[in-house]
Structure 1
Amino acid sequence: MKRIAQWLAGAAVLLSAVTAKAEPVTLEIWTIDRTDQYIYLLKDEFEKAHPDIKLNLKTIQFRDMVNDLARAAATGEGPDVTYIDNPEVALFASRGLLLDLTPMIAESKIVKKEDIFPGPLASVTWDGKIYGLPRGANTIALYYNADMFKAGGLDPDKPPRTWDELYEAAKKLNDPAKNVYGLAFSAVATEEGTFQFLPWLQMTGGDYNKVDTEGGVKVLEFWGKLIDEKLASSDSLVRGQYESTGTFNAGNAAMAISGPWEMPRMAKEAKFEYRAAMLPIPQEGAPRASALGEGDNVILANSKHPKEAFILLEWLHSKMPEVWNRFGFLPAAKVQVDKPQWPEIYAVFEESMKYARNRGPHPEWPKISKAIYTAIQSSLTHQSDPKTALGVAQKQIDGVLGR
């Protein structure tokens, strides 16, 4: 009887160990994705490939991610893995809030540091260490309604190349009677406004650390002219890029400035021939610029499951050849994109990436960005003139940069 009891006790311990081993790890994931985007669409595939890891997803609004993450990190209640917009990596890494992935990447058979393009790699690097893996990359270009171009007597094979040509096209295609604006863009008081503004500034010789330039004034004067003449909606000041491009998809804007992430939705919503062109330059011969966008997958330093979290990051990185066709991201690494959908538009964004520039990086990027988008808002709402607005922003930026 004693032996039977011992055997039963041993079996119970063994069964308990097997049960404990079979219990899957649950990773808490924060994302800016909607339920029809990226991580939500990949969740089931990942869990099928890794049945011992489950993903619990939570959507955070893009504009709230930085503040929500900061609060969560302070209380120890943050996620294991989260999305961070690429200029914010320096902010969190410099404060010790992100896990250094450098040793994991060095041992990885999936992630090769040398295959990640320089811009995206720089966006996840701080103080010589790597703190994230890019989901993909993006930039901005000019979408236009080819049907409206034809109806308006414009050649869809010759989209606007300069700011003057963009203005003339917007003016010609503007049709208040049909609730159609010539152009849709975003000058919202968030990072998205800064993201759209910086390429225009950079094409005139300025940058995030030098905004009070003659070129910067010309950009705000041009944007103000579009809004004041109602060639672009005054809602440009409050709409993000997603909402702004939605007006283009609905046929309420003849052109729109946005990125490749719009393609899956545009393919479903737009009932017309849409094309894309490089972002117009100030004048012929001027340098090109575009914004380096898309975010990064990072692991918080206090994650209780760093091993499983990195398995997720590796797996997501392995999907890089698919991100264009599925999500409208450009690959952030050297991969082969087989039979890209919308090949002409893919070619435009691929070319645009040659001119895409990082925002920062700087550990106080949110303060720099706020100074910029506040100046944009101040100018476009006529609270101050462009020169004054940019001068105020420059003083704030100089203070952040310690100059």
Structure 2
Amino acid sequence: MGIRKFLMAGALALASVSALGLSAHAEDVKITVWSLDRDIQPAPNLIKDFNALKNGITVEYRQIQFDDVVSEAMRAYSTGQAPDIIAVDNPEHALFSSRGAFLDLTDRIAKSTVIKPENYYPGPLKSVMWDDKYFGVPKATNTIALYYNKDMFKAKGLDPAKPPQTWDELVAAARKLTDPANNVYGLAFSAKASEEGTFQFLPWAQMGGGGYQQINAPGAVKALETWKTIMDEKLASPDTLTRGQWDSTGTFNSGNAAMAISGPWELDRMLEEAKFDWGVALLPVPEAGAQRSSAMGDFNWAIFSNTQHPDEAFKVLEYFASQDDKMFEKFGQLPARSDITIAATGKPLKDEALKVFLEQLKYAQPRGPHPAWPKISKAIQDAIQAALTGQMSPKDALDQAAEKISAVLG
């Protein structure tokens, strides 16, 4: 009788283990994703659609703040608390890849029928590469151009068909358009001490014949002097030094700035908020005939190298990439792929603006890529702040930045 009880208990125990085994097998694999996307942006919506497929993988989402991405992600990786997937700003991708924090996706991409390198623009694709290998997938791309309020142009005697083409024309127009009595600034842009400030300034330096490796070139100094003139003459709001692009463009949308330097991610919001006629022009150049440039922005997807589920995480990335053709239609973001044609929206303002942004993308240049990009960018940000707050002259500020960057580059 004792033996029979023992055998029955053993059988029950085996049954319980089997049941547990089946239960564990039936549970979805959990993949965590970090991104700064808000509810109207791609990540949470793509994840919602992916989870609706019920394919044995459940994705959990956490929104993080722009200024915290690098520090928080590196801390999470070093302590073994990293998510499976993260979206990082494209110039910071090399920092993670060079330190072994991101998974090498080269072999998986080679076998993928969804993610094909030849379909991507060279700039975004270059930003996910390190040591000739792929450590991510471009999420989207963008650039910046000049938005302007056509109604205000008319009211101040400016031709709305002829937006500013050069830096001097931009300053002259801003002077005419600035109207303190009505709380209207001539221009809105971001000179914030973050990557957003670098993103907005670097194209000016590049158009002036400089760049991060020659940040104190004479043309780059002229660019910062132009920014200082705009700030000193109060042609832009004082909080230009502290607010990001989203908030500065909001000033334009509300009718409190006549022009704004911003990107295509604003188009849908502008259609909703801006109660005036507006247009978009290419970024002004130092002088007629000078070389053009613009920023190359947006984020890349990557998988952390210490993920417990690399195959499932890659399946999630493949799903995200499979939805690239809807990136602009649904979220106002430009796909990083040249094989996707963006259809006309039937909204004249948006379609005309889009043509300009696609033209501007031809001149967009990446920031880096370089593993020490955050240090390089910090040197540029510090120079912008020092010059615009009057602590140093634009030349001295950029000379100091050049010394810091030279030390980083070795």
TM-score range, shorter chain: over 0.9
Residue 160 of structure 1 is aligned with which of 160, 164, 175?
Answer: 164
In the alignment, the residues of structure 2 paired with residue 329 and residue 123 of structure 1 have an alpha-carbon distance, to the nearest angstrom, of: 18
Instruction: Show the counterpart of 1:373.
Output: 381
Residue 86 of structure 2 is aligned with which of 66, 82, 89?
Answer: 82
| 1:103-157 deviation per Cα after TM superposition (whole angstroms, max 9, x unaligned) | 1101111111111111110010010011111111000000111221222222222
SS at match of 1:198: helix
Percent identity of paired positions between Structure 1 and Structure 2: 54
Instruction: Show the counterpart of 2:239.
Output: 235
In the alignment, the residues of structure 2 paired with residue 357 and residue 164 of structure 1 have an alpha-carbon distance, to the nearest angstrom, of: 23
Residue 346 of structure 1 is aligned with which of 354, 357, 364?
Answer: 354
In the alignment, the residues of structure 2 paired with residue 83 and residue 226 of structure 1 have an alpha-carbon distance, to the nearest angstrom, of: 34
Instruction: Show the counterpart of 1:383.
Output: 391
In the alignment, the residues of structure 2 paired with residue 397 and residue 163 of structure 1 have an alpha-carbon distance, to the nearest angstrom, of: 26
User: 1:73 Cα shift?
Assistant: 1.0
The 8 Å contact of residues 132 and 296 in structure 1, kept in 2 or not, is answered as yes
Structure 1 unaligned segments of length 5 or more: list them. none
Instruction: Show the counterpart of 2:306.
Output: 302
Instruction: Show the counterpart of 1:329.
Output: 333
| 1:226-270 deviation per Cα after TM superposition (whole angstroms, max 9, x unaligned) | 111111111111011111111111111111001111122222222
Q: TM-score, normalised by structure 2?
A: 0.94
Instruction: Show the counterpart of 2:204.
Output: 200
Q: TM-score, normalised by structure 1?
A: 0.95
Instruction: Show the counterpart of 2:50.
Output: 46
In the alignment, the residues of structure 2 paired with residue 115 and residue 251 of structure 1 have an alpha-carbon distance, to the nearest angstrom, of: 40
In the alignment, the residues of structure 2 paired with residue 36 and residue 200 of structure 1 have an alpha-carbon distance, to the nearest angstrom, of: 30
Structure 2 unaligned segments of length 5 or more: list them. none
Give the stretch that moved more between structures: 324-333 or 1-10.
1-10
Instruction: Show the counterpart of 1:214.
Output: 218
Instruction: Show the counterpart of 2:320.
Output: 316
1:173-188 matches, cutoff 5 A: 173-188=177-192
In the alignment, the residues of structure 1 paired with residue 20 and residue 214 of structure 2 have an alpha-carbon distance, to the nearest angstrom, of: 63
The residue type equivalent to 1:137 in the other structure is: T
The residue type equivalent to 2:378 in the other structure is: K
Number of residue pairs aligned between Structure 1 and Structure 2: 402
In the alignment, the residues of structure 2 paired with residue 194 and residue 304 of structure 1 have an alpha-carbon distance, to the nearest angstrom, of: 36
User: 1:384 Cα shift?
Assistant: 0.5
The 8 Å contact of residues 321 and 335 in structure 1, kept in 2 or not, is answered as yes
The 8 Å contact of residues 40 and 331 in structure 2, kept in 1 or not, is answered as no
Residue 101 of structure 2 is aligned with which of 97, 100, 113?
Answer: 97
The 8 Å contact of residues 84 and 295 in structure 1, kept in 2 or not, is answered as yes
Residue 264 of structure 1 is aligned with which of 247, 268, 286?
Answer: 268
| 1:65-99 deviation per Cα after TM superposition (whole angstroms, max 9, x unaligned) | 11111111110111111111001111010000000
In the alignment, the residues of structure 2 paired with residue 303 and residue 76 of structure 1 have an alpha-carbon distance, to the nearest angstrom, of: 9
User: 1:6 Cα shift?
Assistant: 9.3
In the alignment, the residues of structure 2 paired with residue 175 and residue 36 of structure 1 have an alpha-carbon distance, to the nearest angstrom, of: 34
In the alignment, the residues of structure 2 paired with residue 262 and residue 50 of structure 1 have an alpha-carbon distance, to the nearest angstrom, of: 33
In the alignment, the residues of structure 2 paired with residue 27 and residue 148 of structure 1 have an alpha-carbon distance, to the nearest angstrom, of: 49
Residue 250 of structure 1 is aligned with which of 248, 254, 275?
Answer: 254
User: 1:274 Cα shift?
Assistant: 2.2
In the alignment, the residues of structure 1 paired with residue 129 and residue 199 of structure 2 have an alpha-carbon distance, to the nearest angstrom, of: 20
Residue 171 of structure 1 is aligned with which of 168, 172, 175?
Answer: 175
The residue type equivalent to 1:344 in the other structure is: E
The 8 Å contact of residues 91 and 369 in structure 2, kept in 1 or not, is answered as yes
Residue 153 of structure 2 is aligned with which of 132, 149, 152?
Answer: 149
The 8 Å contact of residues 184 and 247 in structure 1, kept in 2 or not, is answered as yes
Instruction: Show the counterpart of 1:282.
Output: 286
In the alignment, the residues of structure 2 paired with residue 146 and residue 18 of structure 1 have an alpha-carbon distance, to the nearest angstrom, of: 65
Deviating runs (4+, > 4 A) in structure 1?
A: 1-15
The residue type equivalent to 1:126 in the other structure is: W
In the alignment, the residues of structure 2 paired with residue 178 and residue 51 of structure 1 have an alpha-carbon distance, to the nearest angstrom, of: 56
Residue 407 of structure 2 is aligned with which of 396, 399, 403?
Answer: 399
The residue type equivalent to 1:76 in the other structure is: G
Residue 130 of structure 1 is aligned with which of 106, 129, 134?
Answer: 134
The 8 Å contact of residues 170 and 181 in structure 1, kept in 2 or not, is answered as yes
Residue 223 of structure 1 is aligned with which of 224, 227, 248?
Answer: 227
| 1:292-325 deviation per Cα after TM superposition (whole angstroms, max 9, x unaligned) | 1001011000011111111111111111111112
SS at match of 1:321: helix
In the alignment, the residues of structure 2 paired with residue 396 and residue 140 of structure 1 have an alpha-carbon distance, to the nearest angstrom, of: 27
SS at match of 1:56: strand
The 8 Å contact of residues 32 and 85 in structure 2, kept in 1 or not, is answered as yes
In the alignment, the residues of structure 1 paired with residue 155 and residue 214 of structure 2 have an alpha-carbon distance, to the nearest angstrom, of: 42
Residue 57 of structure 1 is aligned with which of 58, 61, 68?
Answer: 61
The 8 Å contact of residues 264 and 326 in structure 1, kept in 2 or not, is answered as no
In the alignment, the residues of structure 2 paired with residue 261 and residue 48 of structure 1 have an alpha-carbon distance, to the nearest angstrom, of: 26
User: 1:369 Cα shift?
Assistant: 0.4
In the alignment, the residues of structure 2 paired with residue 144 and residue 50 of structure 1 have an alpha-carbon distance, to the nearest angstrom, of: 46
In the alignment, the residues of structure 2 paired with residue 147 and residue 14 of structure 1 have an alpha-carbon distance, to the nearest angstrom, of: 73
Give the stretch that moved more between structures: 26-35 or 299-308.
26-35
In the alignment, the residues of structure 2 paired with residue 228 and residue 151 of structure 1 have an alpha-carbon distance, to the nearest angstrom, of: 24
SS at match of 1:49: coil
In the alignment, the residues of structure 2 paired with residue 179 and residue 338 of structure 1 have an alpha-carbon distance, to the nearest angstrom, of: 38
SS at match of 2:88: strand
The residue type equivalent to 2:210 in the other structure is: G
Give the stretch that moved more between structures: 12-21 or 264-273.
12-21
